[in-house]
Chain A
């Protein structure tokens, strides 16, 4: 009971809170409840996965955490990491995943009514990441669907490939 209450409270305090990060001069935001911590750039051990945006794994206090590059994931061109580069460690679907971004700026409250649907003029493979647009402080922030960002498309394909490998032939 008590735990549930605490959890409920946590959800409440995190409600409508978004983490803002930057790629180039654009601002992106996603719900803070997915974030477990934000760390500076770490030494990345590259892994030979097909998906280019999978940069490899980092060793975070003994835990091995996969990191993906937000720029590559969103179809932007790669940029060398610097001292402002951050890894946002998320906990999504019970798995820790690090997201490499140019820089993290702040946590903001964005109410649902502030979020507008993204214009559906053009759909490309990045469209599923978009949840909407929000205008605060005279700047437009792109609200991201972090679950889709981390899990759809290439990755799900990657997953199914390995699933298929695991499946035993039935005949």
Chain B
């Protein structure tokens, strides 16, 4: 297809929107399913919302020329239309069918994401489409009543033919060009009028002016045989005719929709100017949308119902009657007033974040400047403190702009749980608390897979089959709870199931088999046994199922979480269930770090990881027989690592025992790091290590300090894993010395 940059952008927008739409559709379907399973009347507002989701996707897909998406959504919409008109009953079969449609769309969207066009797409959804068609046609009370969209479409097709001018040859390129030029000027005027109408929707003069403008374009387009433009203008004109005679009342939302329609016409004109046919690809969808506007008063009732469903509380304040697709995340779908929400390219946000990072660096370099260390700099310092405050605010703002609520991600999880429990013949419900918590976009990307894996594990290994559950005196339906809390600069995501818990014996057996621990050896604490599942190469399933145990184990989950400087821990009680807690920093770009020196090297340790720092002399460090040093803190023995030795190549100099031990807690273990001195706490902008050099174990990146020096930012979790892997079991005993 060879897309222009602009088209690519439109396509990308479409994919984002459609994904959001599908997420929402799944949410709605799940709600409908719940209602159905409780034998309650399906909420018509839910069906309406679902209809609108498919409708919007259909519209955009039509515009983009995505035939398959268009057909699928069109058929789904037809079925839904019949349902909402009471001609078909909603049952399990149909809900499943809609899920299938949603899946199919997802597959196509993924394909689009990669290939930027539908062409070459392999999957065949003909069967699905036929089933939808059959569904839409079944239970026909009167044979003449075909679904609404079909009839309009066929009408339009005949229209198109009728309006084809008999002698196209008479129309010269110059005429086309003139038309395009003239119409564009008219569109500009229309746009101005419409924008004015947004503020004063009842301004009759303006309405008249819009009507006239559309009328002129329509006339010319008709004469020249541009059927698409003609039809669109005709329909739009009718709306304004109704509006100016007071039969319908336009609202801001409708006017902004009209503005978009004008854009479509503009695009068609542009194509015309470039010698391409003046087609409006999403014509039918646009006509549909405008049809909806024509019977506004009737719509109002439907919509007001839609806004009452529990999921959409956030939209409640919006007046009823607006064509709103609820949920904050889909705000862009709704034709919202431009000033409320604008769309920004993520790369711009990233750039902003980078810039803020640079400002933070510049700030600390200013603060460290020698001239400020003198007394007369007092006035300077005051304004600097003010600047600092502003920078901090700017930083918070920039960070918050990249924040998105977790609810979108959790929506997918609902679906996942539904599908897996169906497949495994288990019953489970997923309860989510705190889904409104916002995290950085990049964090979402990184926790999506781990979360899926954890849920799969919970369903596959945790939750027992209904019979087994009954025997244990548990309700047959399992419960998985996701709890999200914001704690300081972290979010804690707790996934708790009420299944059978981890099986200690099985884990041990597997660990011996795989050589994760020496055969026959049993770790001191139960917790250490459970933690073995985080070891690479561990998989608890007796046989590999198609759900979990497909090679990616908990070690991958842990790695993913560590990549974003998070930690993961696990608690399990036999027959009561397993809880997995992920602690993840809210943002990944700027961190609070403690700057330390070890030998010649500067390191930064994330403040979140630090529990305390202890000044030490020789007498405090004890050496165990195996060479492991420990420090005694309030009757606890904590192993100590000399930071100097980690990257020994750098620090071949002498070592002293005088220094500071920084105590941190990683994955539930306390551990101390001996450093020479603490240089202070600082805001650090995390920069990746140069790609050229590859990864450095235990280091998550580096940071440029105020004086231009570069410090390595330590990732204590990864560092510990690295050290444990590096030294054999006998040398390195990290088993909790604390007791």
Tell me the A residues contacting B by CB distance below 8 Å.
Answer: 43, 45-50, 54, 57-59, 62, 64-66, 95-97, 150, 155, 158-159, 161-163, 165-166, 168-171
Contacts and interface: CB of A to CB of B under 8 A. Distances in A.
Given A169-B537, A171-B537, A171-B551, A62 B691 contact: no
Contact of B361 (A54, A57, A62): A62
B537 A66 contact: no
Given A59-B710, A168-B552, A49 B537 contact: no
* Chain A facing B: main interface SS: mixed
Contacts of A54: 693
Contacts of A46: 600-601, 650
Interface string B680-692: 0000000101111
Interface string B1-39: 000000000000000000000000000000000000000
A97 B694 CA distance: 13
Given A54-B693, A64-B690, A96-B690, A43 B708 contact: yes
B551 A169 contact: yes
Given A48-B648, A159-B694, A169-B536, A64 B687 contact: yes
B649 interface: yes
B692 A48 contact: no
Contacts of B687: 64
Contacts of A62: 358, 361, 704
Give the residue among B536, B646, B710 with the most A Cβ atoms within 10 A.
B710
A58 to B, nearest CB: 8
Nearest to A93: B692
Interface of B: 358, 361, 536-537, 539, 551-553, 555-556, 559, 600-602, 646-650, 687, 689-696, 702, 704, 708-710, 712
A48 B695 CA distance: 11
B691 A95 contact: yes
Contacts of A155: 692
Nearest to B362: A62
Contact of B696 (A48, A159, A169): A48
Given A170-B551, A171-B539, A47 B696 contact: yes
Given A47-B689, A48-B648, A97-B690, 6 more contacts: A49-B696, A58-B710, A62-B704, A161-B694, A162-B695, A168-B556
26 contacts: A45-B602, A45-B709, A45-B710, A46-B600, A47-B647, A47-B650, A47-B689, A48-B696, A49-B649, A50-B649, A57-B690, A57-B702, A57-B710, A59-B704, A62-B704, A64-B689, A64-B690, A66-B690, A66-B693, A95-B691, A95-B692, A158-B694, A159-B694, A166-B695, A168-B551, A170-B551
A64 B650 contact: no
B211 to A, nearest CB: 43
B692 A97 contact: yes
Nearest to B695: A162
A47 B702 CA distance: 11
8 tightest A-B CB contacts, nearest first: A48-B647, A162-B694, A45-B710, A162-B695, A66-B690, A95-B692, A170-B551, A48-B649
A162 B697 CA distance: 9
Contacts of B552: 168
Given A168-B556, A169-B536, A64 B710 contact: yes
A135 B630 CA distance: 64
A110 to B, nearest CB: 27
Contacts of B648: 48
A49 B551 contact: no
Nearest to B560: A168
A163 B692 CA distance: 12
B650 A48 contact: yes
Contacts of A48: 646-650, 696
Contacts of A43: 708-709
Contacts of B690: 57, 64-66, 95-97
A73 to B, nearest CB: 13
